[in-house]
Structure 1
Amino acid sequence: MTEPAHRDDQDVPGHGDEPERQPTLLEQMGGLSGLFYSALPVIVFVLLNSFFGLTAAIWGSIGSAVAITVLRIVRKEPLQPAISGFFGVAIAAFIAFRTGSAKGFFLFGIWASLVYCGVFVLSVVVRWPLAGVVWNALNGTGAAWHKDKPSRHGYDIATLALALVFAARFVVQRWLYDSDYTGWLAFAKIAMGYPLYALGLLVVVWAVRRSDKRLKAHAEAEPAPETDAEAEERLRQKYAKAPTTEA
């Protein structure tokens, strides 16, 4: 009686491989620390402006942004969000200084929301929805999603959902700005920041999973590419069956 051949578990595809853990939505947005980092300069600005005036509020918000940037560097967190966050606060503080009004601190974010909304809508119009472009570029998955019409339509919906988020930010915060509700403007900026953005990302996640499922099904349905050995055998059989002519 022969012993069964030894099977190396490592040769079996997928055996022993740990499933790759997908980051949660909160982790993709920077976690709880990301929520805190985005809200802190705004809270500092409003509090200092209420008790000590605009100048203290401007320098306090910039100081908090610098502290957050240094903390992220020390903790070896991604540097890009830290730099963009710092410059965002610096620009907002500069506008508040130039206008001489506390509500000017929020003006840059208000108009930036309108610009983002327009860019997202335009990307759908030209049939390159940004949700699909950015996601697949960051993950290096190419442009196969763009050739699949249902996948592209899913990313259209996700992109328009993000455009709606920025449109809502602009409409609400612009009204509060015109009404001189600085305190409520700060609240709206925080409440309509990460929390509202998370709702838009949920639609993006839906579009990504829908597209990935479709592209995977298409890939599995396609015939496997012919190997060199298979091509050589096919040609050999072809010529073996070909009729021969006698001289």
Structure 2
Amino acid sequence: MSEVKAGAEPESTAHDTVEAAVRAQLNKALGGVRGMAEAAVPTIAFTGTYVAVKDVKTAVAAGVGAAVLLLIVRLVQRSSPQFVLNSLIGIAIAAFFALRSGKAENAFLPGIMLNAGYAAAMIFSIVVRWPVVGFIIGSVTGDPTAWRADPGIVRLCSRLTWLLVLPCVVRVAVQYPIYLADGDQSGLLGPAKIVMGWPLQVAALAAMVWLLARGRTPIKREEPA
């Protein structure tokens, strides 16, 4: 694969290869282990509480309370609350669906729909040869489209994007049939969401790291005039 050319180098990057840049940006986007754990804790609180007391309002309060507590910890530590806020917004939307219908399993419908939307968007980006991972390279080089000049890099980004698609497809394929089944399925959907949340994302990230470790594609940045 040839070198990726770009304009002035952003101050925030010091990566010399496409693979190193993608690894760093993916870790940043997912928030690392802590960010992924923060996304899982409110769901665990909601599911565990509902299984214990069988009351939607109490379960929602537990999930929202867990998210708020995580947010307070972030604020006290003066660290970025981005991932906790994402979690809080997610649990708030889930709470709206559950409380409006009175059915705990409806709390999991927004997540199923979101994963379906992500999967569809990423697959479309691959089909039209604008895989979303390519824009990670663009954010590093300073040119959002220069990476498309190299077919090898486009192929690499397509493979990486497929690895991001897979967790979304698996979640929908498993959770949606459970949601459609008769009766209260929250006892199954909760554990399924937890198991297919950050553990599945970590597995996908590990596969991406393995794929990236095999290449050393240099990033060439033009010197500013």
The alignment's TM-score, normalised by the length of structure 1, stands at 0.70
Deviation track 1:182-236 (CA, whole Å, cap 9, x = no partner) reads: 222111111111121123223444565667x2345xx5xxxx99xxxxxxxxxxx
For residues 105 and 212 of structure 2, the distance between their equivalents in structure 1, rounded to whole angstroms, comes to: 38
2:37–2:198 contact (8 Å) kept in structure 1: no
Paired residue for 2:5?
none
Please state if 1:190 is matched with 2:191.
no
Equivalent residue letter for 1:45: F
Please state if 1:214 is matched with 2:217.
yes
Paired residue for 2:125?
123
Paired residue for 1:83?
85
Corresponding residue to 1:65 among 56, 59, 67: 67
Equivalent residue letter for 1:112: L
Paired residue for 1:156?
158
Deviation at 1:35, TM superposition (A): 3.9
For residues 32 and 204 of structure 1, the distance between their equivalents in structure 2, rounded to whole angstroms, comes to: 16
For residues 174 and 122 of structure 1, the distance between their equivalents in structure 2, rounded to whole angstroms, comes to: 21
For residues 85 and 168 of structure 1, the distance between their equivalents in structure 2, rounded to whole angstroms, comes to: 21
Equivalent residue letter for 1:171: A
For residues 36 and 68 of structure 1, the distance between their equivalents in structure 2, rounded to whole angstroms, comes to: 10
Equivalent residue letter for 1:82: V
Q: 1:25-44 to 2 correspondence within 5 Å?
A: 29-44=30-45
Deviation at 1:118, TM superposition (A): 0.4
User: Which ranges in structure 2 are unaligned for 5 or more consecutive residues?
Assistant: 1-14
Q: Greater shift after overlay, 105-114 or 35-44?
A: 35-44
Equivalent residue letter for 2:201: Y
Q: Greater shift after overlay, 76-85 or 152-161?
A: 76-85
Paired residue for 2:137?
136
For residues 111 and 140 of structure 2, the distance between their equivalents in structure 1, rounded to whole angstroms, comes to: 28
Q: Greater shift after overlay, 73-82 or 161-170?
A: 73-82
For residues 87 and 25 of structure 1, the distance between their equivalents in structure 2, rounded to whole angstroms, comes to: 21
SS in 1 for 2:130: coil
For residues 69 and 47 of structure 1, the distance between their equivalents in structure 2, rounded to whole angstroms, comes to: 20
Deviation at 1:128, TM superposition (A): 0.9
1:145–1:215 contact (8 Å) kept in structure 2: no
Q: Greater shift after overlay, 73-82 or 184-193?
A: 73-82
Using the aligned pairs only, state the percent identity: 31
Deviation track 1:142-180 (CA, whole Å, cap 9, x = no partner) reads: 343221101101111111221122111111011221234
Deviation track 1:84-118 (CA, whole Å, cap 9, x = no partner) reads: 11111100111111111111111100010000000
Larger Rg belongs to: 1
For residues 77 and 26 of structure 2, the distance between their equivalents in structure 1, rounded to whole angstroms, comes to: 21
For residues 217 and 28 of structure 2, the distance between their equivalents in structure 1, rounded to whole angstroms, comes to: 26
For residues 33 and 165 of structure 2, the distance between their equivalents in structure 1, rounded to whole angstroms, comes to: 24
User: Which ranges in structure 1 are unaligned for 5 or more consecutive residues?
Assistant: 1-18, 226-247
Equivalent residue letter for 2:70: I
Equivalent residue letter for 1:200: A
Paired residue for 1:176?
178
The alignment's TM-score, normalised by the length of structure 2, stands at 0.76
Please state if 1:199 is matched with 2:194.
no
Please state if 1:97 is matched with 2:112.
no
Equivalent residue letter for 1:186: G
Equivalent residue letter for 2:46: F
Figure out how many residues of one structure are paired with residues of the other and give that number: 200
